[in-house]
Amino acid sequence: MGHGMKRATRAARPRAIREANGEASMNFELDPGIAELRQKVRAFVEERVVPSEAKIVAEDHEGKRETLSRLQAEAKAEALWVPHLPPAYGGRGLGIMGMCALFREMGRSPVGAKVFNCDAPNQGNMDLLLGVGTDAMKERYLRPLADGLITSAFCMTEPAPGAGADPSNLRTRAERDGSGWVITGRKWYSTGGRDAAFLILMARTSDDPKGGATMFLVDRNAPGVEYVRDIPTMSEPLLDHREGELAFHGVRVSDDAVLKGVGEGFRLAQQRLVPARLTHCMRWLGLADRTLSMCKEYLVTRESFGKKLAQHQLIQQKIAHHALGIHAGNLMTYHCASMLEKGLDKESRPYSSMAKLHVARLLCDVLDDAIQMHGGLGYSEDVPFSAWYRHARSARIADGPDEVHEVVIARDFFTRGLELLV
Mean pLDDT across 256-267:
96
CATH 1.10.540.10 in the chain is located at 34-133
For residue 246, the surrounding DSSP H or E stretch is strand 243-254
Confidence (pLDDT) at 20: 40
135-161 per-position pLDDT tens digit: 999 999 999 999 999 999 999 999 999
Domain 266-415 CATH assignment equals 1.20.140.10: yes
CATH 1.20.140.10 in the chain is located at 266-415
Res. 22: pLDDT tops 70:
no
Confidence (pLDDT) at 5: 37
Q: Calculate the average pLDDT of the chain.
A: 91
Of 230 and 10, the one with more pLDDT: 230
Confidence (pLDDT) at 26: 61
Share of the chain above pLDDT 70, in %: 93
Confidence (pLDDT) at 252: 98
Question: What letter would DSSP give residue 258?
Answer: B
Confidence (pLDDT) at 140: 98
Contact indicator for 171, 224 with CB cutoff of 8 Å: no
Q: Read out DSSP for 302-356? A: -EETTEEGGGSHHHHHHHHHHHHHHHHHHHHHHHHHHHHHTT-HHHHHHHHHHHH
Reported as a pLDDT band with limits 50, 70 and 90, residue 406 is very high
Res. 127: pLDDT tops 90:
yes
Strand partners, 138: none
Which CATH number is correct for 152-259, 3.40.50.300, 3.40.50.720, 2.40.110.10, 2.60.120.260? 2.40.110.10
Mean pLDDT across 31-49:
96
Q: With 0.75 as the threshold, say if the pTM is over it.
A: yes
Which CATH number is correct for 34-133, 3.60.20.10, 1.10.540.10, 1.10.10.10, 3.20.10.10? 1.10.540.10
Report the alpha-carbon distance of residue 202 to residue 170 in Å, rounded: 8
Strand partners, 248: 185, 225
Give helix 265-299 / helix 96-106 axis angle, nearest 10°: 40
Mean pLDDT across 106-112:
97
Neighbour count for residue 10 (Cβ, 10 Å): 11
What are the phi and psi torsion angles at 173 (to 5°)? Answer: -120, 145
